[in-house]
Amino acid sequence: MSTITSLIDLLLRCPEEMAERTPTVFQVCLVLGVLLGGLAFWACIRSVRLWNQTYPIPWWSYLAASFAALVVFSGTILLPSSGLIKDAAVSLIEDWSKRLPRDRRWTDETFKEAKRQVVKLGLEEPASYQKETIPVSHEESRKVAARTYAQAAVAHFREHNPLLSKLLSPKAAPTEEEIYDNVRVFFEKNSGKKYGVEQAIDLASENLRQDLQRQAPKVVVYARAIVILGVILLTALPFALVGINAYRDIHIHQ
C-alpha cells in the first residue's frame, strides 16, 4: 500500500468515527458541507464575470465547478472529523491485527524464520526439529520465537501502512523486556500450551496502539494540515482553469 493510499484510507475512516460517536455533529457537517459546496460551485462559475462580463461559460466550466464543490464538501466533513484520526488509526490497527493471521505468506515465512532462530540456539532435542511446530521447551527458545514473531508483525505493519509508520516512533516495536514478560505471563496462565502467532500479534498491536496514544497530538496536527492544504490546492485548480480561460477570452475579442 502506497503512502497516498494509506492516507486516503485513514482519512476516510475519520467521518465514519464521527458518524458513530457524534451523529448530530456529523449531520451538521453534512448540511454545512452542502451549503459551502454550493457556494463554491456558484463562485467558480460567477467569479469570472468580475473581469469578463460577456464571457460565454463553456460546458466544462460546470464540471470544474462541480469538482470544486465536491472538494469543499469533503473538506467540510474531513477537517472537523480529523480530530478523531487517532481513533481511526486504532481502528486501522485492529483491522490489520485481524487480517494478519490469515496472511499465509507472512505466517509461513515467519514460522520458518522463528524455527530457524530456535534451531540456531541448539537447546532443543534434535528430534523435535522434524515436527511442524517450533520446539520451545526451553525458556530461551520461547523468547527467541516470540521476539521473531513480534518483530515480524511490526515490520509487516510498517510495510503495509507507510503513512502511520512515518508518524509512529521507533518505540512502536516491542522491547526485549516486553516480549519476555509477555511470554512469561502467557506460560504462567497457559501451562502446556504453545505461544503462537496470535499472542505475538496482540503484543505488537498493543505496542502500536500505545505509541499512537503518545503521538496523537502530532498526528492530529499533521492530518488537519494535510486536509487544509489539500482543500486549498484542489479548490484553486478549477478556479484557476475557469479564470485563465475567461482571461484569454478577453484578448480574443479585443
| Total length of the chain | 254
Residue 58: pLDDT band by 50, 70, 90 thresholds?
confident
Same domain? 124 vs 201: yes
At 103, give phi and psi (nearest 5°): -80, 95
Same domain? 8 vs 106: no
Same domain? 22 vs 46: yes
Same domain? 151 vs 236: no
Same domain? 69 vs 36: yes
Same domain? 245 vs 184: no
Same domain? 170 vs 103: yes
Please write down the HEC assignment for all residues of 8-61. Answer: HHHHHHHHHHHHHHCHHHHHHHHHHHHHHHHHHHHHHHHHHHHCCCCCCCCHHH
Same domain? 99 vs 129: yes
Looking up cell 484578448, which residue turns up? 251
Mean pLDDT of 115-137: 70
Sequence-ordered list of residues with C-beta below 8 angstroms from that of 179, at least 6 positions apart, any chain: 143, 146, 147, 150, 203
pLDDT tens across 181-238, in order?
A: 776 776 666 666 665 667 777 777 777 777 777 776 777 888 888 899 999 999 999 9
- 86: cell is 487517532
What is the domain extent for residue 96? 87-215
Is the pTM of the predicted complex or chain greater than 0.75? Answer: no
